[in-house]
């Protein structure tokens, strides 16, 4: 069930996709840096694990909230390169 292209939906999807990609980049760079710094400072494995898990859970929560269709608010799934919403069929690009 494909719907008509809405420029407002396309623009909002572009913003959400950009935030998702930035989140992924910062998450990877941040976790690598944090792990390296904590290892150099002699932090215990338990402390490192707790911090990493907390950061990953926060990123997942943000992603779950951000990565939704601007038209129907349905979760968009794992792909960052969607052309249509899998739930409502509206064009996203």
Residue ranges per domain, the chain?
A: 1-93
The number of angstroms, rounded, from the C-alpha of 75 to the middle of its chain's C-alpha atoms is 11
pLDDT tens figures, 34-46:
878 777 777 777 7
How confident is the model over 2-23, as a mean pLDDT?
Answer: 90
Query: Which residues, listed in sequence order, are joined to residue 84 by a DSSP beta bridge?
Result: 91
pLDDT tens figures, 25-80:
998 998 888 878 777 777 777 777 888 888 889 999 999 999 999 999 999 988 88
Reference 71, options 3, 5, 9; nearest CA is 9
Q: What is the pLDDT of residue 2?
A: 58
Instruction: Spell out the residues 6+ positions from residue 31 whose beta carbon is closer than 8 angstroms to its own.
Output: 52, 55, 56
């Amino acid at each position: 069930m494909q719907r008509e292209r809405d420029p407002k939906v396309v623009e909002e999807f572009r913003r959400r996709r950009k935030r998702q990609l930035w989140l992924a980049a910062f998450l990877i760079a941040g976790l690598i840096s944090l792990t390296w710094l904590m290892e150099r400072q002699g932090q215990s494995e338990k402390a490192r694990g707790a911090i990493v898990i907390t950061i990953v859970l926060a990123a997942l929560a943000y992603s779950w909230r951000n990565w939704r269709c601007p038209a129907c608010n349905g979760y968009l799934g794992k792909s960052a390169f969607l052309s249509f919403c899998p739930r409502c069929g509206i064009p996203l690009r």
